[in-house]
Chain A
């Protein structure tokens, strides 16, 4: 069972995914200078009604093993310590300790 922060992040990811197309459409209208200011303002007001987790910037890559939020090696979706543990255990294909 992942920890609460990871659960919250999963929730945010799902909500972002569900609202992305609609948000993009409103963004297009709001940022389009060729449309009338009234229409653009209405679109901006609609954008403001979206929830906190519909914004893609609320999503944070966390460690898929421990849930840690810092020191993430994004290629493996793991924090540096879990990456080290797994790599030394040879659980990550194609990764081995450097030696020369």
Chain B
């Protein structure tokens, strides 16, 4: 059996590419086609976490419904309670020397 010449093999590949509509790339040069061929991953990435209902946005969107954001109300109540016990956030410094950071012991 005689060996098949490389030229014949190449023409065979070329014909096969034209029949099956694939790109003929004998030198295997990088065409970057894989970046276009790959499916987009973004849409499924966005859907990973279950959708949460944004109460604050709903209250803002429909003020006429008079919805109550219970979690936010509770938070504000807790902040008030903490202030009464003297555990609120410190006053904002007016000057640089007033800042707690400047008076910090090292």
Contact = CB atoms under 8 A, between A and B. Distances in A.
The answer on A and B forming one complex is yes
Contacts of B30: 31-33
A44 to B, nearest CB: 12
Interface residues of B, number: 19
A69 to B, nearest CB: 13
Nearest to A77: B48
A32 B42 contact: no
The A interface is mostly helix, strand or loop, or mixed, namely helix
Interface in A42-67: 56, 59, 61, 64
A34 interface: yes
A27 B30 CA distance: 12
A28 B35 contact: yes
A34 B29 contact: yes
Contacts of B43: 17
A9 B40 CA distance: 18
